[in-house]
Structure 1
């Protein structure tokens, strides 16, 4: 199972999109759609700036990265909205925290109603509560057909499905080189994977 377009849109709505590095609510340097150094995708340092295209590529890679451990943790089939909400939760609390959560334990035991309510157990800091409520409401949907989805409970704007990851530019300057020490590398093989294309984007390499 993959994250649906509306699932990605809900996640992006919860994370926001900031192109200059900033400290989050717990003091961690963050950029783009909630991307931190812990993601393994980029080293976030003070003063770092990225382009909208780079942010889109990072987000696409991060969604793929966090969807994998959710698939591995869930042993029973679940509705698409529940899966999407789980990826949103894992994106926020990390794959290890998610794998050991009551959400997973209850879902794997076949108690989906209790698993849905277990999203609300992850309620610290207080600023996260409306997000967690939005994830819980999303997880409670049997499907997206005719459903109203909000990134956070209390939002007035409905989530609109994203058309898909932004295309990776064939070639562009590397604005991160002065900060990361990135050096040009060889041209990548044909049909590169998403993570390879993300690396190409930051190193300014031409996609095959």
Structure 2
């Protein structure tokens, strides 16, 4: 399985975009959209500190790497989970593993593979305390298909030369994120906005109505 467009937005909104290396809440050097050395590829601890001169270019680089990282975490979930999943369940698990790297060790995965689809195991990974809101959102997504994020508020953060976040530079919408990912070379499908989908559906219905008369 592959993560859906809505799943991509969910992960991005949870993670935010940081165009310079920073230390996360447990001190791990991180860059871009939640990228750490554990994911392979560039090591944020070895990157130049502080904000880049060209923020827009750095954001595109971060989104290109985000696309690569998503491929890796999709593959991990596909290997770890042996039971059929609905799309929203798969998306929730990719978000969980993207953040924790724990899909192979989690009791959540063990329960799923036994046929327990309750999703209770999401609440087994609650440190640091700042992550509790995300775990609840992932659990709710797994259980109900409610994509809690997906708003117009994906933050791009400022960071200083010591790896500390210094507030939000700006926010971008989900549609803008998807456009930028395509510009960065992503082949992931970009879904139309709901309003565009509704307009197209109405047009098709009107044309069919003419031919039925």
* Same-fold status (TM-score > 0.5): yes
Larger radius of gyration: 2
Counterpart of 1:47 (choices 46, 49, 59) is 49
Unaligned runs of at least 5 residues, structure 2? 155-172, 188-213
* SS class of match (2:21): strand
* SS class of match (2:2): coil
Matched, 1:167 2:183: yes
Q: Distance in 2 between matches of 1:135 and 1:156?
A: 19
Change in CA separation of 1:120 and 1:156 when aligned onto 2, cut-off 3 Å: farther
* SS class of match (1:30): strand
Q: Distance in 2 between matches of 1:33 and 1:163?
A: 14
Q: Distance in 2 between matches of 1:168 and 1:121?
A: 35
Matched, 1:123 2:139: no
Q: Which residue of 2 aligns with 1:99?
A: 104
Q: Distance in 1 between matches of 2:16 and 2:90?
A: 20
Q: Which residue of 2 aligns with 1:83?
A: 90
Q: Is the 8 A contact 1:23 1:29 kept in 2?
A: yes
Q: Is the 8 A contact 1:53 1:166 kept in 2?
A: no
Of stretches 130-139 and 98-107 in structure 1, the one that deviates more from structure 2 is 98-107
Q: Distance in 1 between matches of 2:42 and 2:138?
A: 26
* SS class of match (1:151): coil
Residues paired across the two proteins, number: 160
Counterpart of 2:149 (choices 148, 151, 159) is 151
Q: Distance in 2 between matches of 1:136 and 1:168?
A: 30
Q: Distance in 1 between matches of 2:100 and 2:43?
A: 19
Change in CA separation of 1:60 and 1:156 when aligned onto 2, cut-off 3 Å: closer
Q: Which residue of 2 aligns with 1:109?
A: 114
Q: Is the 8 A contact 1:135 1:151 kept in 2?
A: no
CA RMSD of superposed structures (Å) = 2.7
Q: Distance in 1 between matches of 2:184 and 2:88?
A: 28
Greater RCO structure (CA 8 Å; 6+ sep) = 2
Q: Distance in 2 between matches of 1:107 and 1:156?
A: 32
Greater percentage in strand:
2
Unaligned runs of at least 5 residues, structure 1? 170-192, 195-208
Greater percentage in helix:
2
C-alpha deviation, 1:120, in angstroms: 1.1
Counterpart of 1:132 (choices 132, 135, 146) is 135
Q: Which residue of 1 aligns with 2:19?
A: 19
Change in CA separation of 1:156 and 1:57 when aligned onto 2, cut-off 3 Å: closer
